[in-house]
Amino acid sequence: QVQLVESGGGLVQAGGSLRLSCAASGRTFSTYSMAWFRQDPEKERSFVAGISWTGATTYSTDSVKGRFTISRDNGKNTVYLQMNSLKTEDTAVYYCAARAIGPVPKRADDYANWGQGTQVTVSS
């Protein structure tokens, strides 16, 4: 098991940037595939971006390609989501998720470890 704590959310104007961080506890962070999901009140939790346990492979949903970048620092037990050119439709609660070594799935049900979430609000 790994415990996850997100930070970095907030209010930003459209076109602005934010960087989310997800700090993980536990000695085995480097063996976990990591992902960011987001959810607004009327929709299901959806995949935003993911990164393999080595950091060599990243994935992102089409709507954020070219704007969001996922990265990880295994020495700091932290995964990041750099969000640029934010749009109002990016407004949501963003969750960090971890899955033991293996592929990086895009279904929320495939992740056993979740953070508490951090709110991102993009104003027009």
Q: Is 67 left (phi over 0), alpha (psi -120 to 50) or beta?
A: alpha
pLDDT digits (tens, 9 = 90+) for 17-67: 999 999 999 778 888 999 999 999 888 999 999 999 989 999 999 999 999
Tokens 């439709």 found at: 89
Cα–Cα distance for residue pair 109/114, rounded to 1 Å = 11
Cα–Cα distance for residue pair 55/51, rounded to 1 Å = 6
pLDDT digits (tens, 9 = 90+) for 59-109: 999 999 999 999 999 999 999 999 999 999 999 999 999 998 778 999 999
Supply angle C-alpha 20, 30, 1, rounded to 5.
85
Look at residue 66 and give its three-state secondary structure.
coil
Cα–Cα distance for residue pair 71/64, rounded to 1 Å = 14
- Burial pattern 1-12, b for ≥16 Cβ within 10 A else e, equals ebebebebbeeb
Q: Which residue has the higher pLDDT, 100 or 16?
A: 16
CA 26 to chain centre: 18
